[in-house]
Structure 1
Amino acid sequence: MLIPARRMALTAFSALAATTLFTAPAGATVFNQGISVHRDAYVAKDGAVTLSGMYHCEQASPMGAMQIKATVEQEGGGRLSIGAEQIVCDGQERRWVADAPGAFVNVHPGSAVVTAELQEVRLSGLMPRSVTTVAQDSQHVEVHGH
């Protein structure tokens, strides 16, 4: 008698697990995502800008990829958005860095606001179908010359 009860319990548990697995949306995003901005940024003599911070994320949905977009806004300097280097989504806390060459950049030493966005890009073939911000941080930073 003990064996059929165990089988019935295992069958019920398996059915519950299958129902949970198959009722999730096909492209569901994992919600263990986070990003932060360091309070210091840098601008080189040639105008190249470096922004940085920390992030953690889980693997993107099978139909997408993860990326970081960083935007710096400065009075008298306008607004500049740049992407960070390739990121790794394995749940670990990691550093991100975004660099922009100085050719068309108008950032100078002083106060600025930097906003970092961790984004999931959903693909349709080779083309992006949608971009969703899954984590964001905005900080007043000091831009230092170097």
Structure 2
Amino acid sequence: MSLRPVLATALGSAALLCAAVGPATAAPAESVTAAPAESVTASAESVTVDATGRLADDGTVTLSGTYTCTDATGPVFVSSSVSQDSPTSRHGVGGTRAVCDGAEHHWENTGKVTSEKLEPGAARVEATIMELRPAGGLPLPFFHVARQQDIKLAKG
């Protein structure tokens, strides 16, 4: 068996995992640091989500915010997801490549929701900074920081 299909499956699974995790905003929020204490401190890494997301007529959602991360050895992404009315149903909204240099950066993810229609109004977003760290030849997901937050989806 070739390593290429196995690696493609692993990367695809990691991308799906990233898409299932979504951003947060300036309303009441929870922040979770998912890395070991010795490699990440609460002040060194963060992710925020803007208080308003955009929802186009065709179901395209745009979410944005800022992030700060450090100490990455593999490729890093800011992933996001959004939900309305159901805490068990989330919609992945794209992923942005992140630069982990300790500086604050802007992120923006766009994705089209196809399974269930979102509507303008209140929504719950989760944003996550996830790294694909090399481990024994395969990249494995390492979560730097995640944040859940309530936002408003506006037409546009």
Q: Secondary structure at the match of 2:58?
A: coil
Letter paired with 2:150:
H
In 1, the alpha carbon distance for the partners of 2:126 and 2:79 equals 8
Report the equivalent of 2:142. 132
> Which residue, 27, 46, 50 being the options, matches 2:62?
50
| Unmatched runs of 5 consecutive residues or more in structure 1 | 1-27
When the two structures are superposed, what TM-score results if normalisation uses the length of structure 2? 0.64
Identity %: 29
Structure 2 residue runs of 5 or longer lacking an equivalent are 1-37
Question: Where do 1:88-127 residues align within 5 Å?
Answer: 88-104=99-115, 106-124=117-135, 127=138
* Aligned 8 A contact 2:75 2:97 in 1: no
Instruction: Please list the CA deviations of residues 85-136 of structure 1 after superposition, one character each: whole Å capped at 9, or x if unmatched.
Output: 22222221111111002444522101011010111221358743x2122111
Q: CA RMSD in A?
A: 2.4
Of the structure 1 ranges 100-109 and 115-124, higher mean CA displacement relative to structure 2 is found in 100-109
Instruction: Report if the CA contact (8 A) 1:55-1:96 is conserved.
Output: yes
**2:94 maps to amino acid:** G
| Residue type of the alignment partner of 1:42 | R
In 1, Cα distance between equivalents of 2:65 and 2:137: 29
**Which protein has the bigger helix share?**
1
Deviates more, 1:75-84 or 1:94-103: 75-84
After superposing the two structures, state which structure 1 stretch, 104-113 or 48-57, moved more: 104-113
SS in 1 for 2:96: coil
How far does the alpha carbon of each residue in 1:24-79 deviate from its partner, in whole angstroms, 9 at most, with x for none? xxxx8455321111111111011100011110112412xx2211111111116941
Moved more, 135-144 or 115-124: 115-124
Which residue is 1:60 aligned to? 72
TM-score (norm 1): 0.68
Structure 1 stretches of 4+ moved >6 Å: none
Aligned residue pair count: 116
Higher relative contact order (CA 8 A, sep 6+): 2
Other structure's SS at 1:118 match = strand
